Amino acid sequence: MVLGDLGQRLSSALRQLSKETVINEKVFDDTLGKICRALLEADVNIRLVKRLRENVKQAINLEEIAVGLNKRQLILQVVIKELIRLIDFEVKPWEPVKNKCNIVMFVGLQGSGKTTTCTKYAYYYMKHGWKTALVCADTFRAGAFDQLQQNASKVRIPFYGSYTESDPVVVAMNGVEIFRKDKFELIIVDTSGRHAQEESLFEEMLEISNSIKPDNIIFVIDASIGQACELHAQAFKSKVDIGSIIVTKLDGHAKGGGALSAIATTKSPIIFIGTGEYFDDFEVFKTKPFIDKLLGIGDIQGLYDKIISLNSEHDKSFIINAKDGQFTLRNMYEQFQNFMKMGSFGQVISMIPGFGTEFMSKNDEQKSQARLKKMMCIMDSMNDIELDHIDGAKLFKSQPGRYTRVANGAGVSLCDVKDLIVQYSQFYKMMERMKGLSKFGNMQRNINSINMQRITSQMSELIDPGVLSHMGGTSGLSSMIRQLQQSSRTDRS
Ligand SMILES: Nc1nc2c(ncn2[C@@H]2O[C@H](COP(=O)(O)OP(=O)(O)OP(=O)(O)O)[C@@H](O)[C@H]2O)c(=O)[nH]1
């Protein structure tokens, strides 16, 4: 992930602090020095780094800290607060108003990911029940029309653009007019990519803005852009009224500090982040969880939300079974499908406390994905009797010929099928232990608790063994399970 290297260095500086026996001025300065160097080397503007350093120094006076207060904890809190201040300006982001016509204009540098992001944004709102439409006012780049049109048709969102009209102002106005008449609630206007030096294109951007009078202008920033981005951001900000920011390509491996500096220049809130090329690779941005994730502190609430959002009706019926201690191979298959929907393993793992964004390398990620797919492929070769048996492992053990048949069908070795059945047995035992849990306390809470334990312990089984051992094995994950349960309880109380 972009900023992954920075995250690792920041968290290693803070980890080092927790190993020191005495926290004195020298240790404090060393830690702060490491943090500042990491930020500078990630391309964060020197002015911002200097300000962060001064603020941290000012907020912490080691000699005045009362006895009994945890100095390490205090330093960590202040550093987190200052990192948050780099990108959070306590400005409430603009939000569209339901049952009204909201016009949103996208601007940004060439290739920053505007067209893709317009579609992701439209798709996000469409999925949340909004009547959305897309307008292509990029008449500059050959292919922009086709790209947005194709994107729009993939996600089934109405689209307006023109092959013949070369004036983007006219296209934007026509598109907005048509969709306004049709009572669309969110009209999204994509514009050409432009650079600070292109004065005429900047004038054109202003003209579009003046003619369609958008309710919000979103500036799209490519996270992998270097220091120069700050200048461009300033140019955009001085020309049009940027209301919010979307940072794209946060799934890449660039330094990312340039984008942080550009965000600081605009002083506009980040509303979403792009984490891949697919339309679903789009997340609502929340500063604190983002910084926590960067520092390897995790994002338990984010993980919890992700898990809960996957609770389809199907899944709920599984929970009811699980509550009674039933867990079939088909249940396991469906849970693997759910796990795949959660996004990349790396992204999920970075939400776990103690595991930074760079924890899982691309290689490890591929190995874990391959392992999961292989297990699903084995289960694809099972018949309904095997998949739906209330104790699939018992069935296989009593009829060993089934192992060979499934192995042949899936094109894997006998050992692979046996391994899968062993894993299934482990989940099965876990479910049995949960039998009767609903007798205690709040039913809903217990269901969530089961759900949490199920998915988190499955993670320990699904991740490549090499990666799992980095994580301190299954026991390393157990503290995460506890935190997830705590989070679930706090959330419900
Ligand atoms: N990995 C990754 N790629 C992205 C993301 N967002 C966009 N892209 C890719 O970035 C490239 C450029 O995206 P576009 O949407 O065409 O960019 P644009 O800003 O509209 O381009 P111009 O119109 O030339 O300014 C495409 O290959 C996209 O698939 C993201 O979040 N992650």
Confidence check: pLDDT of 451 > 60: no
Top mutation candidate among 105, 110, 116, 285 for ligand 1, by most atoms within 8 Å of CB: 116
Q: Kindly report which listed range (275-279, 315-319, 416-420) carries the lowest average pLDDT score.
A: 315-319
Contact by Cβ (8 Å): 247, 274: yes
Q: Is the CB of 470 under 6 A from ligand 1?
A: no
Q: Look at residues 87, 120, 150 and tell me which one is the last residue of a structural domain.
A: 87
pLDDT at 441: 38
Looking at 232, 265, 294, the residue that finishes a domain is 294
- Record the pTM: 0.67
Single out the residue in 294, 325, 343 at which a domain terminates.
294
The full length of the chain comes to: 493
The winner for highest mean pLDDT among 134-148, 258-272, 450-464 is 134-148
Average pLDDT over residues 128-148: 92
Residue 348's pLDDT is: 64
SS3 at position 425: helix
Nearest CA to 375 out of 480, 470, 475, 458 is that of 458
pLDDT of residue 298: 56
- One domain for residues 258 and 323: no
> ipTM value of the model?
0.97
Mean pLDDT for 382-393 is 92
Is 95 within the bounds of a domain? no
Q: What is the pLDDT of residue 169?
A: 96
pLDDT at residue number 459: 57
Q: Between these two residues, 291 and 329, which has the higher pLDDT value? A: 329
> Crossing angle, helix 4-19 and helix 71-87, to 10 degrees?
160
- CA-closest candidate to residue 82, choices 51, 104, 112: 51
183: in domain: yes
pLDDT digits (tens, 9 = 90+) for 82-107: 888 888 888 889 999 999 999 999 99
Angle at 285 between CA 284 and CA 290, to 5 degrees: 135
Percent over 90 (pLDDT), the chain: 36
Estimate the crossing angle of helix 362-380 against helix 401-410, to 10 degrees: 120
Query: C-alpha angle with apex 313: 310 to 315, nearest 5 degrees?
Result: 55
CATH number at residue 276: 3.40.50.300
For the stretch 262-287, pLDDT in tens is 888 888 899 999 988 889 889 888 88
- Going from the Cα of 276 to the center of ligand 1, the distance in angstroms, rounded, reads 9
* 321-378 tens-digit pLDDT: 544 556 789 888 877 776 676 666 666 656 555 555 555 566 666 777 777 788 889 9
For residue 70, is it left (φ>0), alpha (ψ between -120 and 50) or beta? beta
**pLDDT (average), residues 22-45:** 88
Check whether residue 348 and residue 467 sit in a common domain: yes
Is pLDDT at 418 greater than 90 in this prediction?
A: yes
> Residue 58 C-alpha to ligand 1 middle, in angstroms?
41
The domain that holds 392 is classified in CATH as 1.10.260.30
Residues 24 and 171 in one domain: no
Under the banding of pLDDT at 50, 70 and 90, the label for residue 162 is very high
Give the domain extent around 336: 300-492
- Both 304 and 381 in one domain: the answer is yes
- In the chain, the number of structural domains is 3
Q: Is residue 92 part of a domain?
A: no
Q: Are residues 310 and 183 in the same domain?
A: no
Same domain, 259 and 368: no
Q: Where is 260: in which H helix or E strand?
A: helix 257-266
Shared domain for 472 and 336, answered yes or no, is yes
CB of 268 within 6 A of ligand 1: the answer is: no
Question: pLDDT tens digits for 178-197?
Answer: 999 999 999 999 999 888 77
Atom of ligand 1 nearest to the CA of 120: 6
- Answer whether 54 contacts ligand 1 (Cβ < 6 A): no
Q: Are residues 202 and 284 in the same domain?
A: yes
